[in-house]
Structure 1
Amino acid sequence: MAAQTTGSGIRARMRARPIDEPHRGASPLELLFDLTFVVAVAAVTARFAHDIADAHAMSGLVAFLQVFFAIWWAWMNFTWFASSYDNDDVGYRLLTMVQMAGVLVLAAGVPAAAEDGDYRGVTFGYLLMRVGLVSQWIRAGIEDPARRRTAFRYAAGFTLLQAGWLLRLLLAGTGNLPAAAEVPAFVVLSVLELAVPLWAERTARTTWHPHHIAERYGLFTIILLGESVLAASRGVAGALETSAVDGPFVLVAGSGLVLLFALWWLYFLAPAGQGLRDRRHRSYLWGYGHYGIFAALAAVGAGLEVAVEQTGHDLAASPLAICYAVAVPAAAFIVLLWLVHAPIAAQPAAHPAAVPGCAAAVLLLPLAEPLIGIAGVVAALAAGCVLLIVLVLTPARGPAV
């Protein structure tokens, strides 16, 4: 009997899945795949929190953004491929598990990359993931003649760029790549990575499912919010080690939780599946724009961890810096969420003035720290995000702008 796409058989031909497949949702394998990213996100968030607490936020931010890009792009590569070609047979599952192993190697290399700029673990983890991913694309090219050139372009592009990452690692390790050139080299290779899908799909479009993609992005958002809760709990544990529960501690911890709830609410106010279905040509902006949204959520978690921990510790970071470690990513999340969803939305979810106004207020609130303290600032940030939700949910009395 021929294998089916439910994983009940050994072998199934890798065909492009229908764009309008009914009731398409995340598979158990995709959910397992996402769990491997929990380790990587937790590692990069914890490292960034340490950098903030040690008053090295700006230098730590560069490493955070680089490592987070590697994590996000690995997740992106798998997610969009799976949306088009998941046939759930034995070969597909095994190659996906190879990619999961690569994610875990990447996660193990995060501390060295963030602390010492040693990207060997991250690069070799990526090499392992790329073996699985490129094999999947080659198989898709062989078994789906209509999109053979597209699949082989993906395979060739990712293979060449993986060679570029290995060359960058070799040059840096032998001292032939100046330290000042390491970040520019990373940026160039990252831009080329982003260009691969644009180039590959010029021949024929893959058949990703809009509602499936929207669900997958929502699930990753929940993972990041969960990591932020975990980060805040680490701060709670650190604060409780040296002090009893007091007013500022309760206010910061409670307000941080409210802030995360508000960010979750804002993200899911406007489901993206319908917009992606109607405006598929704008999917690149939507998909790539989520790098900033996801990174901002992870950074909020790091900032909240430090804000809670400072209630029981004397940290090297100034109170103003700690406040901005929460406010800046929160404001970035609000603005980027609006910018990314606007091109696919049938109508704006909020009045155009509400989002930038709220973001501006969030960025100004840390200046009140000398008067209301860190706890008061975090509480005000949470209140501002809650107010934005109220403004969005309140029906407009006039025509939408």
Structure 2
Amino acid sequence: MEEKKVTWLELFYDLLFVAAVATATHALLHVEKGHIHPEYLLKFALMFIPIWWSWTGQTLFINRFGQDLLHQRIFMILQMLFVLIMTSSLSVDFDQYYLSFLIGYIGLRALTAIQYLVVQNFEEGNRKKVALFLGTRFWIGVIISFLSIFFDSWIRYAVLYIGIFVDILVPVLGRKYLEKAPTNIAHLLERFGLLTLILFGESVVSTLFVLQPQNGNWNSISFSIISFILIISMWWQYFDNLEKKVNKSIQSTGQTIIYGHLFILMSMSMIAASIKLMFLHEVYYFFILYFVFISVLLYFIATTLVFHQYRYEQHRLKIYHLGLFLGILAAFFVINLIMIVPYIVIMGELTVFFIIYAKLTTT
């Protein structure tokens, strides 16, 4: 498959979405009576999903049909304006900013659908059919979400997210069409990898900002160091797999990569929030124990599934590897349930897990 390079405009585009992700993650820092209220956990997911899908939708268009042409640049710049509108509307007080959020999301998705309809005029054969299919079917979800403006209360949100989930399901339901014009796997992995890298950077920056050691507090300094080693271990595992263990010449629709990264990115945000909450001691011990281990388990399962399908066969993990990793996590979790330990110990355990995970999956 022809090599496809990431453009500077794509990288600029990513930065705006990372700001949106950081805003959504902030919902996880709303602690009430020692735990994150379920309402904020739900709001985090409901903010995160449209952010991820808006970025993914445009990335997939670029992957199949993108060229560094003037009209495509203009489309992306217009999309960036809608990203700013959507990001500025992200708040736990969602009702107050609903209209501007809807304008931002609808604008993003409508522009992507229009791009498909424009490009199908210049394509032939299967590529034309794919562009026409996506350019027409994506309007179904866009229109359903737009209709939410005519409703109030919870019905409005139900209609909005029905439209979003219909939109997300379009590539799955149209898989037989998309297989005839497969994605560029090398470019797709690079795009998701770059977004993930920026989120790793955001995690480091936000973590170190909260964990600033003051007056030579060695507990704070130690927590900072262990947190940094944990994040570096996650980075090592992800990018060594991406660079060395994955067969990028495989032709497919890339849907494991696409949908798997929703859970990778969400779990990264959850882990970053867990680090902050543990350091600030604002949550009950058993709540944060469940929350952080669920976050790590979600990240582990998502990265394992995403990379397994695209690994070179000789590098694929065996079932006993899965048992080993799950066993380590389960052992640490049970020990911490039986015996209450300092948060810095929990961070140390998770760091050990990620070091082992990185070592065994990248050598």
TM-score, with length taken from structure 2: 0.88
The aligned amino acid for 1:308 is: F
Q: What are the Cα deviations for residues 37-77 of structure 1, in whole angstroms up to 9, with x where unaligned?
A: 12101101122223489622533222111211111111111
Which runs of 5 or more structure 2 residues have no equivalent in the other structure? none
Which among 255, 264, 270 is matched to residue 226 of structure 2?
255
Task: Tell me the residue number matched to 2:328.
Answer: 361
Q: Secondary structure at the match of 2:240?
A: coil
CA contact (8 A) 2:116 2:131 kept: yes
The aligned amino acid for 1:322 is: I
Q: Residues 170 and 150 from structure 1, CA distance in 2 versus in 1: closer, same or farther, beyond 3 angstroms?
A: same
Task: Tell me the residue number matched to 1:5.
Answer: none
Task: Tell me the residue number matched to 1:189.
Answer: 163
The aligned amino acid for 2:44 is: F
CA distance in 2, matches of 1:295, 1:164: 25
CA distance in 1, matches of 2:62, 2:106: 19
Matched, 1:214 2:189: yes
CA contact (8 A) 2:270 2:295 kept: yes
Q: How many percent of aligned residue pairs carry the same amino acid?
A: 20
Q: Residues 331 and 28 from structure 1, CA distance in 2 versus in 1: closer, same or farther, beyond 3 angstroms?
A: same
Q: Secondary structure at the match of 1:280?
A: coil
CA shift for structure 1 position 342: 1.5
CA contact (8 A) 1:46 1:231 kept: no
Q: Residues 161 and 86 from structure 1, CA distance in 2 versus in 1: closer, same or farther, beyond 3 angstroms?
A: same
Q: What are the Cα deviations for residues 166-197 of structure 1, in whole angstroms up to 9, with x where unaligned?
A: 223432x3x4x558xx45x5664343222212
CA shift for structure 1 position 274: 5.1
Task: Tell me the residue number matched to 2:99.
Answer: 120
Alignment of 1:339-378 (within 5 A): 339-347=305-313, 348-362=315-329, 364-366=331-333, 368=336, 370-378=339-347
Which runs of 5 or more structure 1 residues have no equivalent in the other structure? 1-19, 395-401
CA contact (8 A) 1:52 1:322 kept: no
Q: Residues 247 and 326 from structure 1, CA distance in 2 versus in 1: closer, same or farther, beyond 3 angstroms?
A: farther
Q: Residues 380 and 223 from structure 1, CA distance in 2 versus in 1: closer, same or farther, beyond 3 angstroms?
A: same
- Worse-superposed segment, 201-210 or 325-334: 201-210
Q: Secondary structure at the match of 2:211?
A: helix
Q: Residues 245 and 106 from structure 1, CA distance in 2 versus in 1: closer, same or farther, beyond 3 angstroms?
A: farther
Task: Tell me the residue number matched to 1:328.
Answer: 294
Matched, 1:26 2:26: no
CA distance in 2, matches of 1:324, 1:117: 32
Q: What are the Cα deviations for residues 348-370 of structure 1, in whole angstroms up to 9, with x where unaligned?
A: 44443334432443355355275
Q: What are the Cα deviations for residues 316-351 of structure 1, in whole angstroms up to 9, with x where unaligned?
A: x20232333332212211122112221222334444
CA distance in 1, matches of 2:240, 2:33: 33
Task: Tell me the residue number matched to 2:136.
Answer: 156
CA contact (8 A) 2:29 2:277 kept: yes
Q: Residues 327 and 201 from structure 1, CA distance in 2 versus in 1: closer, same or farther, beyond 3 angstroms?
A: closer
Task: Tell me the residue number matched to 1:133.
Answer: 112
The aligned amino acid for 1:72 is: W
- Worse-superposed segment, 126-135 or 192-201: 192-201
Provide the aligned C-alpha RMSD in A.
Answer: 2.7
CA shift for structure 1 position 112: 4.2
Matched, 1:167 2:147: yes
TM-score, with length taken from structure 1: 0.80
Task: Tell me the residue number matched to 2:278.
Answer: 307
